[in-house]
Structure 1
Amino acid sequence: MALLLAVVAAPLAADELRPAVVELTEREAGQWTLEWKLPVAATPGQSAAMLARPVIPNVCTMEGEPVQRAAPLALYGSTRLQCSGALADQSFGLTELLGSADAIARMVPLDGEVQSFRLTAAEPIATIAAAPDRWQVARDYFLIGTEHILLGWDHLLFVIALVLLVGKTWPVVKAATAFTVAHSITLVATTLGYAGLPSRAVEALIALSIVFLAVELAGKLREPDRETWTRRAPWLVAFAFGLLHGFGFAGALAEIGLPQGEIAAALVAFNVGVEAGQLLVIAAVLALLAVINRALPVIEGPAIRAATYGIGIIGSFWMFERVLL
């Protein structure tokens, strides 16, 4: 487990789960712009135009060829459209989503309500509805929040370390809930413009929170009877670090944006999704520990020790990387 964690450490960074964004915006009557951003690394020597092509409504025509550029970690593109007639029941999106990424698609008319859609690698095209679906935003941002925990490695390692440190079901759930409450506070405050920290500092502090839990866990393995603030009140420590992680979540949401008129629903759904993802991780780790304890109790100690040092090494690597580079 420690070797596996060490192997995956290098290419990963904070808040990597940033879905692609595809936005169809009306600039003036009949004039639209389709823009997209795919968080992928372009293949060296491959033309950006070969990576993805826009899918436009049937009632629209492109004014010239799409403009695309490949950056080290993203593909940006845009095209101008001339449209005649209503866009209800029309489709837009991309021919493919690279790397099996998810995407948030938005249709932003001059008059009328914004519509949001969640695209997947299997369904990279959205169909515009005659009237917006109120529940669509909640569903999409709930899934984004869940995926952000399950695929966002720094937050995932923090939750795993917290589970290993606390060990018992209800104390872990309470600590995870305190973590959710805390990051919800800073996420909302940052999104609404009442707070904010530089992203570089936030990412370094998130890595430091992982190292802190790994050190606490290593200390518990050496001296299981020694009491510390973290062991007495894990929910308090989770709450304190949750405030930091909230700034990281805010950075991820800033990349994809929030739907106008549905900001509250999107924020609530995102946070509920994060909590659901955390509970899934907690259940999986506790179940794995229970299986090991019953079937192979002799390896439980060495397995936890290996995981502890693997998590600590990765967190330390991230911390120095984010401070020095």
Structure 2
Amino acid sequence: MALWSQNYSLSSEFIILGFRELADLKFFFFGLFLLMHLITLAGHTTIVLITLVDSCLQTPMYFFLRNLSAIEICYILVIVPNMLANFLASSQRIPFLGCALQMHLFIALGGAECFLLAVMAYDRFVAICNPLRYTLIITRPLCLTMLALACISGFALSLTLTTLIFLLPFCHSREINHFFCDIPAVLFLACSDTRANEIAVFLVCLLILLIPFLLILLSYAFIIAAILRIQSAEGRSKAFSTCAGHLLVSLLHYGCAIFIYIRPKSCYTPEQDKVVSLIYTNVTPMLYPMIYSLRNKEVKGALHRLLASHSQEWQKSAAR
């Protein structure tokens, strides 16, 4: 608590440097990423709505997909609005506790998403490898339990890691060369030995990133083996199409996160980190709905039914 008090008195706020190097193109990038942000929100909100209201999408797969999209909406809202403001301002001040809260929510929601992707891989594993017992294994109580465990695990690990990082003394520069309070950028400002904290970051990343990712790869090894045993080409194609989107999303999500977080502080490169962070906080979340579900026939059918229903209601209202 003494270190926390020292931090708060010596460094009551941080300065987010953002994108000073892009000052000449700030309005272009602001417009570009604002458009991407709106497309991302629209895509994930659409998934949440249609999986809630359409009776054909009340299955465990779409239950997990709906919650993944809900987590993704919260995840980008923690980061992107401040990032957009950084394009228009030369720098931004953020309170010490505000920076800690942003980091906590970012890690918590990202961790919950990682665990949920692993849960979804298990769901697909049971559906492909043990289809006759699928409804007996993947029950509603089990789905709720796995969702709760994914969220609780993400928030618990995040709280532990964020506390360890913000107990460090930040005695010198308070300028974060990033567009949000990311782990490597904040650790870089600490003026004490951070080896213990780096080990803690590695262990948490091991739990949040590597272990779920290895479980996903293991699940898909069994899934691919099961798909290859399917006799009909149509059956193989259908089974593969239900899994390909999830596998691609997992590779994008884990690939960027592993690159950023599983490495020593000595390898920290601010400009490179900002570019990769722009990708995993803006580009990949925008692609998820298109990769994962909006190309799915069942989701497209549900969207068509929803639009047709609203169109009929509007026509009736106009006729009155």
> What is the TM-score when the length of structure 2 is the normalising length?
0.29
Higher relative contact order (CA 8 A, sep 6+): 2
> What is the TM-score when the length of structure 1 is the normalising length?
0.29
Greater fraction helix = 2
